[in-house]
């Protein structure tokens, strides 16, 4: 594999493309789109955003030490792009993009975006002036999740919200699931040595039905066998069949991108499918 050597630059992709909502002490509110963001600690829950000092929202965050990270979806793709290329000095992004500000529960000035499926309230704890961007380290003070994405077990299905990501100037949608957190080391049951399946010579109505496949998990039951000095034992085998067909991008020169997405204690690997540019 031949590779070129480039000068230092930002090539860590994909990234989340989030809309950050802010407010000041005079009642002004704004939205900026941020890709330089992420989780920095689990306990306590902490995140960061990096913002250029010349951005209109920068002084609002610095003044109040508050902001809200609003996750973005395919339905919000136009607003996500617009809020990243237009300045709040010139336009009212809330009005132009038909977005609704909601009052946060733990913050005094920064509002939430009602149309976002997940709102993360943040309180700034430290500011690092790095260079072109200043990093705001913040503690998560509250999280709001849209009840429409709760399943029958009351578990929030984040991957069904239609999340988007940003990669090298393009917005991407999430593709098919490739695995779940820890699947590569999960132990699989093995058949006992010497066991074999019995062939049915004469099928009849009383014959046992073939096992059904449910949720890609095939449960099989081995034949009963007797070990010397031991009673009969039934052993159940669970064989996991994963659809691991190779992914081929439909866009020329466009590789598929692997992304790990986590919601609470659950994680999922997904492919980013290249969309049309917005």
Task: Pick the range with the lowest mean pLDDT from 41-50, 124-133, 210-219, 256-265.
Answer: 210-219
How high is the pLDDT of residue 264?
58
Task: Pick the range with the lowest mean pLDDT from 2-6, 111-115, 233-237.
Answer: 233-237
Which of residues 218 and 20 earns the better pLDDT score?
20
Which of residues 278 and 91 earns the better pLDDT score?
91
- Per residue in 124-137, pLDDT (tens digit) is 999 999 999 999 99
> What are the boundaries of each domain within the chain?
15-173
Q: How confident is the model at residue 250 (pLDDT cuts 50, 70, 90)?
A: very low
Measured distance CA(93)–CA(29) in Å, rounded: 9
How high is the pLDDT of residue 256?
56
Q: How far is the CA of 249 from the CAs of 10, 180, 214, 246, in angstroms?
A: 24, 22, 29, 10
CATH superfamily, region 15-173: Electron Transport, Fmn-binding Protein; Chain A (2.30.110.10)
Q: How confident is the model at residue 204 (pLDDT cuts 50, 70, 90)?
A: low
Is the pLDDT score of 174 beyond 60?
A: yes
Best CA proximity match to 21, nearest among 77, 52, 55, 61 = 61
Contacts of 75 (CB under 8 A, 6+ apart): 115, 162
pTM of the predicted protein model:
0.69
Is the pLDDT score of 186 beyond 70?
A: yes
Task: Pick the range with the lowest mean pLDDT from 91-100, 187-196, 222-231, 248-257.
Answer: 222-231
Burial-class residue 164 by CB neighbours within 10 Å (0-12, 13-18, 19+): buried
E strands in 130-169: 134-145, 164-167
Q: What is the mean pLDDT of the chain?
A: 81
For residue 171, what are its two tokens?
């917005």
Is the pLDDT score of 212 beyond 90?
A: no
Q: How far is the CA of 64 from the CAs of 22, 58, 82, 158, in angstroms?
A: 9, 10, 24, 30
How high is the pLDDT of residue 175?
85
- Per residue in 47-73, pLDDT (tens digit) is 999 999 999 999 999 999 999 999 999
Mean pLDDT of 158-186: 93
Q: How confident is the model at residue 187 (pLDDT cuts 50, 70, 90)?
A: confident
């Amino acid at each position: 594999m031949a590779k070129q050597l480039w000068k230092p630059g930002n090539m860590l992709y994909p990234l989340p493309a989030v809309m950050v909502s802010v407010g000041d002490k005079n009642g002004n509110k704004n939205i900026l789109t941020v890709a330089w963001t992420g989780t920095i600690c689990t306990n306590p829950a902490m995140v960061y955003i990096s913002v250029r000092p010349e951005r209109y929202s920068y002084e609002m965050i610095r003044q109040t030490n508050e902001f809200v990270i609003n996750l973005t979806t395919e339905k919000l793709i136009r607003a996500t792009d617009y809020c990243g290329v237009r300045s709040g000095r010139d336009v009212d992004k809330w009005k132009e993009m038909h977005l609704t500000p909601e009052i946060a529960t733990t913050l005094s000035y920064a509002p939430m975006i009602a149309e976002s499926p997940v709102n993360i309230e943040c309180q700034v704890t430290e500011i690092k002036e790095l260079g072109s961007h200043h990093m705001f380290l913040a503690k998560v003070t509250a999280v709001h999740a849209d009840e429409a994405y709760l399943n029958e077990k009351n578990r929030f299905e984040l991957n069904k919200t239609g999340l988007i990501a940003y990669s090298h100037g393009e917005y991407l949608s999430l593709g098919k699931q490739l695995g779940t957190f820890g699947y590569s080391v999960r132990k699989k049951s093995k058949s006992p040595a010497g066991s074999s399946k019995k062939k049915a010579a004469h099928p009849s109505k009383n014959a046992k039905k073939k096992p059904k496949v449910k949720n890609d998990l095939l449960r099989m039951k081995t034949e009963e066998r007797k070990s010397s000095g031991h009673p009969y034992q039934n052993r159940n085998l669970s064989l996991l069949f994963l659809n691991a067909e190779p992914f081929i991008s439909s866009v020329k020169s466009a590789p598929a991108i692997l992304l790990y997405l986590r919601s609470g204690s659950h994680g999922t690997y997904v492919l980013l499918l290249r969309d049309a540019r917005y």
